[in-house]
C-alpha cells in the first residue's frame, strides 16, 4: 500500500473559474507537452477537466493512466497512478526511477532509424515489441507510428500500426520532456493494476479521476483488453459511499450534439454532469483493414459524484 498523504492538497491556481450552476472552482494551468502519444490522450484539455476537481483533496488517484495527461497537468503532491497495461507501466516506473534510461531508450531507436531505412527499422522495433512486449519499444513505437495510434490485433494483442509519415521528435526534445514529466510526477506512486484494486486504496477526501476505455471501437486499443463498465460503476459507488470524490470521463458529444454511447448510468450515482470542450476531433480518422477509429468528438462528458 503506497504511503498516502493525510494533509489536504490545494490545486495551484492562478485564477478562479465560475462554472454556471456550481460553486467557484480553481482553474488549473494548461500543460500541453505530451510525453507519449496515446489514443484518448487528454493533454490539450486536461486543465479543464482538473478544474472540476474539488478545490481541496488529499490524494490524487488515476486508475486508467494511459499517457498521463491529467496527472501531469495537475502535478499533485501525493498520487497513485495505474493502468493494467504492463509495458505502458514499465515506461512510467522508469520515468520515475531512472529518467535517463527513458531518454537512452528513445535515442537508441531514433538514431537507428536515422541511420538506416526508416520503415525497415520501425518494423524491426515493432517485431521486437511483438515478440516480447516491453516499455522501451512501446515508447518509441507510440512516438513514431502512423497517426500516433497504437493499435493491437484483438485475437492475440499483436501491435499492428504501420510506420508514421512524420519525423519523430529529436532525442534532445524528448529528454527535455522527460525532465519536466519526471518533476511533475515526483509525488506519484505508479503501479500496474486493475482499476478496482487501485480504487480500493482511495481514502475519504481523495479524488479519483477515471478515464476508462469506453467506446466499442476502443476494443482494438490498449492491448486489446476487454472492459466491463458495470464493474466500474460498482467501484465508483463504493468510493462515493466512503467519502471519496470521483470524476468520470465517460463519452463525448459529437458535432451533431449526439452523445456517443448510450450508457446505462445508475440513478443517483452522480451529482453533476459537465461537458468539457475538446475543440476538435479527439480521435483521428484512421481507417485500415476494415477497422475504423473515426469519431468526431467535440466535447468530453464528465460525471462527478460530488
Ligand atoms: C482512455 S485511456 C486513458 C487515457 C488517458 N486519460 C490519457 O490522457 O492518455 C484508457 C486506459 O485504460 C487502460 N485500461 C483498460 N482496461 C483497464 C482496467 N481493467 N484497469 C485499469 N486500466 C485499464 C488502458 O490500458 C488505457 O491506457
Q: Are residues 81 and 96 in the same domain?
A: no
User: What integer best gives the mean pLDDT of the chain?
Assistant: 84
Q: Are residues 40 and 104 in the same domain?
A: no
Q: Are residues 108 and 38 in the same domain?
A: no
Q: Are residues 97 and 78 in the same domain?
A: no
pTM: 0.86
Of 139, 173, 207, which residue constitutes the final position of a domain? 173
Least confident of 25-34, 52-61, 113-122, 133-142: 25-34
Q: Are residues 126 and 247 in the same domain?
A: no
Q: Are residues 262 and 192 in the same domain?
A: yes
- Give the residue, 219 or 58, on which the prediction is more confident: 58
Of 173, 193, 226, which residue constitutes the final position of a domain? 173
pLDDT at position 9 is: 57
Q: Which residue's C-alpha comes closest to atom 24 of ligand 1?
A: 222
Q: Which residue's C-alpha comes closest to atom 17 of ligand 1?
A: 84
Please provide the DSSP assignment of the chain as one string: ------SPEE---SSEEEPTTS-EEEPPPP----SS--TT--GGGHHHHHTTS-SEES-EEESS-TT-HHHHHH--SSEEEEES-HHHHHHHHHHHH-HHHHHHHHHHHHHHHHHS-HHHHHHHHHHHHHHS--HHHHHHHHHHBGGG--BB-TTT--B---B-SSPPPPHHHHHHHHHHHHHHTTTEEEEE--HHHHHHT--TT-EEEE----SGGGGGBGGG----HHHHHHHHHHHHHTT-EEEEEEEEEETTS-BS----PPTTS-SEEEEEE--S-SBPP-EETTEE--B-EEEEEEEE--
Q: Is residue 226 part of a domain?
A: yes
Q: Is residue 24 part of a domain?
A: yes
pLDDT at position 12 is: 43
> Quick check: CB of 252 below 6 Å from ligand 1?
no
Total of domains in the chain: 2
pLDDT at 261 over 60: no
pLDDT at 36 over 80: yes
> Quick check: CB of 305 below 6 Å from ligand 1?
no
Residue 271 belongs to domain spanning: 9-85+185-304
> Quick check: CB of 66 below 6 Å from ligand 1?
yes
Q: Are residues 98 and 77 in the same domain?
A: no
In this prediction, residues 18-28 reach a mean pLDDT of 50
> Quick check: CB of 5 below 6 Å from ligand 1?
no
Amino acid at each position: 500500500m503506497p504511503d498516502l498523504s493525510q494533509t489536504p492538497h490545494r490545486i495551484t491556481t492562478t485564477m478562479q473559474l465560475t462554472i454556471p450552476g456550481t460553486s467557484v472552482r480553481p482553474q488549473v494551468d494548461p500543460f500541453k507537452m505530451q510525453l507519449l502519444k496515446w489514443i484518448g490522450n487528454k493533454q490539450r484539455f486536461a486543465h479543464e477537466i482538473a478544474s472540476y476537481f474539488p478545490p481541496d483533496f488529499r490524494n490524487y488517484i488515476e486508475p486508467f493512466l494511459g499517457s498521463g495527461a491529467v496527472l501531469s497537468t495537475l502535478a499533485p503532491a501525493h498520487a497513485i497512478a495505474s493502468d493494467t497495461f504492463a509495458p505502458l507501466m514499465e515506461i512510467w516506473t522508469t520515468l520515475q526511477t531512472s529518467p535517463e534510461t527513458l531518454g537512452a531508450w528513445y535515442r537508441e531507436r531514433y538514431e537507428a532509424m536515422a541511420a538506416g531505412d526508416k520503415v525497415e527499422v520501425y518494423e524491426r522495433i515493432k517485431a521486437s515489441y511483438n515478440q516480447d512486449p516491453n516499455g522501451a519499444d512501446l515508447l518509441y513505437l507510440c512516438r513514431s507510428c502512423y497517426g500516433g495510434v497504437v493499435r493491437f490485433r484483438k485475437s492475440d494483442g499483436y501491435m499492428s500500426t504501420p510506420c508514421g509519415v512524420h519525423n519523430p521528435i529529436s532525442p534532445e526534445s524528448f529528454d527535455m520532456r522527460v525532465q519536466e514529466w519526471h518533476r511533475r510526477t515526483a509525488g506519484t506512486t505508479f503501479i500496474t493494476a486493475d482499476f478496482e484494486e487501485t480504487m480500493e486504496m482511495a481514502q475519504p477526501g481523495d479524488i479519483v479521476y477515471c478515464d476508462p476505455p469506453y467506446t466499442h471501437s476502443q476494443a482494438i486499443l490498449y492491448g486489446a483488453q476487454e472492459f466491463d463498465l458495470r464493474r466500474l460503476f460498482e467501484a465508483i459507488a463504493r468510493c462515493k459511499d466512503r467519502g471519496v470524490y470521483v470524476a468520470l470521463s465517460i463519452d463525448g458529444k459529437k458535432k451533431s450534439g449526439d452523445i456517443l454511447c448510450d450508457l446505462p448510468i445508475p440513478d443517483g450515482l452522480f451529482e453533476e454532469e459537465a461537458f468539457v470542450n475538446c475543440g476538435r476531433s479527439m480521435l483521428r480518422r484512421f481507417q485500415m483493414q476494415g477497422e475504423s477509429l473515426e469519431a468526431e468528438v467535440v466535447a468530453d462528458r464528465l460525471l462527478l459524484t460530488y
